[in-house]
Amino acid sequence: MAQISERMPILVGVGQTVEHWDGSDIAKAPSPLSLAAQACRNALSDLGIDQDVTADIDVVAFVRLNQESYAGAPTPFGKIDNMPRALAKQLGADPARAIYTPAGGQTPQSLVNEFSEAIYDGEAELVLLTGSEAIGAMKTALRGSMALDWSGELGGDLEDRGFGKRMLNEYEVANGLVQPARAYALFENAWRHKQGTTRKQHRALIGELFAPFSEIASKNPYAQFREARTPDYLATPSKENFPLADPYLKWHIAQDAVNQGAALILTSVGKARALGIPESKWVYLHGYSEAADKIVSLRSDMTQSAAMHATTAEALDTSGLTAQDIDHFEIYSCFPCAVLFACDALGIDWRQHQLTQTGGLPFFGGPGNNYSMHGIAAMADTLRNAPGTKGLVLANGGFLTKEAVGVYSTEAQPAWTPIRNKKAQAQVDAIAPMPIAEAPSEGTVESFVGLYKKKEAYSGLITGMADGKRFMARVAPDDPAALNAVVDGDPIGQTVSIEVTEKGNLFRLA
């Protein structure tokens, strides 16, 4: 076997935690800090050594909390001014670098990519990555009019990387694309139409796709929602599985009412040997990639993800593998089309593979930007239990916007070196943006979403094409036929008339 470089980055510790707080005892309410701290302690324990290594931690990176992911976001119980250093203080660590990341579900895998390179370059030795969400506790406390205190003034050096690039532009917001479910439903309906299936058939497909996810979550001790759901239950609207944004029902999307934390510890082969961390704990990053797509309205094809295609191809290529060589998958599952698009990009049949190690965001739980930290931790456990096998993690952020991919194994890749290029990003950037129709009067429906409030349909929006340019429009409030088309019909391909107003476009059936 070839010599492994002492600088080779490895994942050596993983930790997760979950709390099922019911609100009966306010003293037991979890907080983002308490959940992250427990996950980190679990990761430190997972190293399998008696030695206390907290003094050796030179980087702590904390994934940005969901309630702090955009300017002016409400923080009803306050916030800590320096979350990574507050965490380090709880652990007894004093890292040289404290990082608070941008928002985005791709962030955990992106951090693994970044700090694997930093470790190889000698810029870091022992890196702690962590994140958590206590959205479940927040919602429970607010419903019960309980006052929690999640504030703290710590000060100290902090590398705050901000919120990240905005995922929407003014045109999209004006025309109703203001929530993730709406964007994903547009992708979902466009993909469904391309397959030639009906709305009812696609709901059945979603049930078939996600029932195995819920089965895995039901057996995962770190899952927030441990109840297996049948395909029929998932495909059928009901009091407990009500419509949100067509075609989505409640249990088709990421559930954010969670109390979960996760942590990863990265180091080099040389440092691991010096600390005595057993090789049975070592997990190697074989290949990786990341890229960001254009905003939704400018994408040339609503039925696939260019960023997923580019990043999965590069991660597999740099690992010397194909998708057929991968034994275990952890595919981001905030919405069904995220999984379907990923399988299309990988060229695999979703019916033939287990696509999650956790149970997925609708059933394991969707802890904000940090879900894939759990996915990577679960993948590490899977690989340790099956030495030599290969696993692929795909993490997604925004509106199928930001993708980060990692290929892992307990078996080393001796020739590993950092990827010093932006190949995947260049491929995505090379795709010409779709031009926008500034003042269309008529067009053809490309995709659509029906919108619900309190389980009742009230509006909808479409994307369409007019003379080779895309437009977006909302249902005209005085056209019940247009509302019915997006709620109960299948208007893709139909001609609509468009009224351009100061507050955005409205459409009516032509």
Digit-coded pLDDT (tens) for 1-13: 468 999 999 999 9
Predicted local confidence at residue 421, as pLDDT: 82
Is the same domain home to 119 and 263?
yes
Taking only the tens place, the pLDDT of each residue in 413-467 is 988 999 988 899 999 999 999 999 999 999 999 999 999 998 899 999 999 999 9
Taking only the tens place, the pLDDT of each residue in 281-300 is 999 999 999 999 999 999 99
Is the same domain home to 336 and 463?
no
Is the same domain home to 163 and 278?
yes
Is the same domain home to 341 and 378?
yes
Domain boundary among 399, 429, 459: 429
Taking only the tens place, the pLDDT of each residue in 361-383 is 999 999 999 999 999 999 999 99
Helix (H) or strand (E) holding 449: strand 442-453
Query: Does the residue 331 lie in any domain?
Result: yes
The range of the structural domain enclosing residue 494 comes to 442-509
CATH, residue 63? 3.40.47.10
Q: Which two tokens stand for residue 329?
A: 């998958």
Is the same domain home to 448 and 417?
no
Is the same domain home to 349 and 317?
yes
Three-state DSSP state, 391: strand
Query: Does the residue 356 lie in any domain?
Result: yes
Query: Does the residue 217 lie in any domain?
Result: no
Q: How far apart are CA 91 and CA 281, in angstroms?
A: 21
Is the same domain home to 44 and 21?
yes
CA angle 306, 312, 317 (to 5 degrees): 125
Number of structural domains (the chain) is 2
Domain boundary among 429, 452, 482: 429
Closest Cα partner for 213 from 351, 326, 354?
354
Is the same domain home to 419 and 446?
no
Is the same domain home to 134 and 35?
yes
Q: How confident is the model at residue 485 (pLDDT cuts 50, 70, 90)?
A: very high
Q: Is the pTM here over 0.85, yes or no? A: yes
Is the same domain home to 383 and 323?
yes
Closest Cα partner for 286 from 330, 326, 318, 331?
318
Domain boundary among 429, 463, 481: 429
Is the same domain home to 160 and 308?
yes
DSSP strand pairing (97-100 vs 59-62): parallel
CATH, residue 477? 2.40.50.840
Query: Does the residue 420 lie in any domain?
Result: yes
Query: Does the residue 371 lie in any domain?
Result: yes
Please list, in sequence order, all residues whose beta carbon lies within 8 angstroms of the beta carbon of residue 289, skipping any fewer than 6 positions away. Answer: 113, 310, 311, 312, 313, 314, 315, 318, 404, 405, 419, 423, 424
Is the same domain home to 116 and 260?
yes
Three-state DSSP state, 93: coil
Q: Which two tokens stand for residue 383?
A: 């690989």
Query: Does the residue 94 lie in any domain?
Result: yes
